[in-house]
A and B are shown apart, each in its own frame.
Chain A
Amino acid sequence: MSDTLLSVQGVETYYGNIRALAGVDVEVKKGEIACLIGANGAGKSTLMMTICGSPQARTGSVIFEGRDITRMPTHEIARLRIAQSPEGRRIFPRMTVYENLQMGASLDNLKYFNEDVEKIYTLFPRLKERQAQRGGTLSGGEQQMLSIGRALMARPKLLLLDEPSLGLAPLIVKQIFDAIKVLNQEQGLTVFLVEQNAFAALKLSDRAYVMVNGKVTMRGTGKELLANPEVRAAYLEGGRH
């Protein structure tokens, strides 16, 4: 677990004149789960989107597998097998679950579709039950599963998950985090996770970052940050999720 898959170096991202990221350094190594926690508006999702090239970083660079992807268009970044389950899930509501998964596999023109879809169905059996149903009619948890499943259909090297627990019942959150763990341990998938649900995310992570106002203020292993009194005070006390 030594070689770096993704490294974000000194990235600054702006929305117009407003600086959302103020020099962020983040590193994700092959085969690990990294997570980024922080309050609302800290810039977590912006970092996620910057990695995908929309918006692009104004300064600094994003390196994936030793390749500078800072200025690449989003769809070409996706072709390097960086798959994303974006904030708000963004499944295709009028397409069926099955078609959504097909869209996920469009990079390979569905070459591995039949074998991959079975893997997704083993991971999330609910999706198999719902496969002929339209995406928009699914519950929030099922939509999240579909969003992750769709991202996995692209056979990613790096999976970016933006708040997979957002607005979901604790039981569903647990299912989804379990699935992430399974993916990581059994298939060696590298996962970069953005979460507000700090407790669950830190427990799962090999590497963790805390973001405040567009800067990474703390870093360490998940366990270290879980034990850190500042982190506990800011993100964990006041009710475990």
Chain B
Amino acid sequence: MANITTNPESAGGSLTARALREGFYAGIVSLGLFVLFVGLETTQNIRNELVLRQRWGLLLTFVLVAAVGRFLTVAYVRPWVAARKAAAVARVRDESAPDSFFKRNFNAIAIVALILYPILAMLIFGVQGSLKWVDNFGIQILIYVMLAWGLNIVVGLAGLLDLGYVAFYAVGAYSYALLSQHFGFSFWVLLPLAGILAAFWGMILGFPVLRLKGDYLAIVTLAFGEIIRLVLINWTEVTRGTFGISSIPKASVFGIWSFDVGAANNFAKVFGLPMSSAYYKVFLFYLILALALLTAYVTIRLRRMPVGRAWEALREDEIACRSLGINTVTTKLTAFSIGAMFGGFAGSFFAVRQGFVSPESFVFLESAIILSIVVLGGMGSLVGIAVAAAVMVGGTELLREMQFLKQIFGPDFTPELYRMLIFGLAMVIVMVWKPRGFVGSREPTAFLKERKAVSGSFTKEGHG
């Protein structure tokens, strides 16, 4: 099936004919391909004999999908794409035209929408019904947004490929779990502490890998992530190994209102509301939202400060950095430790949300997912990463909702098992379509119109 470009103007009868022809060929080819794979199946009958079962219906589906898909591609999708391309070329970009209101205020609108989200969910689905929306979608996505934003500092800004980021997540989670159980510290004390501990581990990782770059760095960080996980599994006296640590205390609203059922200052009791775990989830939603926004704010600020610019310069050219008097050692270490700190915050939040931590939650796959969110979103772009996290994590969560698929594929079909398959497929598609991620272009940190204001802010900080 040769890829022949068509001229959209000559569309019409010949195009349809060609589409039909190509669709027919596609059908033939897929028939040839699938007749043995799909059309026939060997099974054992009750006497343990191998029998051939015919699945013509399924084969027909495959062939039809190929044929119709090809027909639609040739007849409609390709001319549409070509027309769009032509239109994009024809359209002279008017630089002076202001962006639409939505585009200009995208960030503000998104934040307001997120703040209203749990309230809307409660209004629409009721207090109990909102649980799923706030917890599975809201909190789950925001955790990944925060993790990806934290990793973005290391990978996106400083260009240090880190495949073991989940280690810091684990450090944060276990710091909270262990310290709260053994010493009874509250969440608000342990949150910063978990961040500091994770940052400390970031430094520990940073020192040995200072001289490494690219692939070598990736492998060492991967190993680091595995070491942390294996320590968690095997150091049973402290971590209880694979059993994990359960009944981790809940967070409270700054100690004023508690969410423990028996407590006198229980949130629902104080406000005379019916008992529900939904309030706690809503509280957690706002908590992770605040933490994620803190990450974004710090990232934006840092990018405009000498240390942030040194990170970006480091990503571009390490030798040039050194010859400009930038200390690459401290620059790398700050990137690792600040990135790790946010991982630690997210980890302690994770522990408080689950109430249970075990090494199972900190496998390499998690690192890979976080990294792929950063790459898909466009390295360095906060908005792109948030969108990627929403699409990827939200999309896989949505799979759980797609019960109608059972009607098509039979009752044994569990859509969430195809999670990674779809994740990978989506990644391939995005990378083909936008190789630099959703938001691929780097936003300059110095704007010529605001030169004074920007350069003034540079002079405040000492150089890292």
Contacts and interface: CB of A to CB of B under 8 A. Distances in A.
Q: Do A and B come from one complex?
A: yes
A175 interface: no
Given A75-B327, A95-B313, A110 B322 contact: no
A104 B463 CA distance: 13
A111 interface: yes
Most buried by B among A86, A95, A131, A132: A95
B99 to A, nearest CB: 18
Contacts of B459: 109-111
Contacts of B461: 109
A11 B463 CA distance: 32
A78 to B, nearest CB: 4
Interface in B433-464: 442, 444-446, 448, 451, 455, 458-459, 461-463
A96 B306 CA distance: 16
Interface in A82-99: 83-84, 86, 90-96, 98-99
Nearest to B460: A109
A94 to B, nearest CB: 5
A54 B455 CA distance: 31
A154 interface: yes
A90 B313 contact: no
B49 interface: no
Interface residues of B, number: 29
B317 A92 contact: yes
Contacts, number: 94
B325 A131 contact: no
Contact of B323 (A52, A93, A113): A52
Contacts of A131: 448
Given A99-B309, A103-B313, A113-B455, A78 B319 contact: no
B306 A92 contact: no
Nearest to A107: B325
A104 B313 CA distance: 11
Nearest to B442: A94
B92 to A, nearest CB: 19
Contact of B309 (A94, A102, A114, A132): A102
Nearest to B325: A78
B10 to A, nearest CB: 37
Contacts of B448: 98, 131-132
Interface of B: 306, 309-310, 312-313, 316-317, 319-328, 442, 444-446, 448, 451, 455, 458-459, 461-463
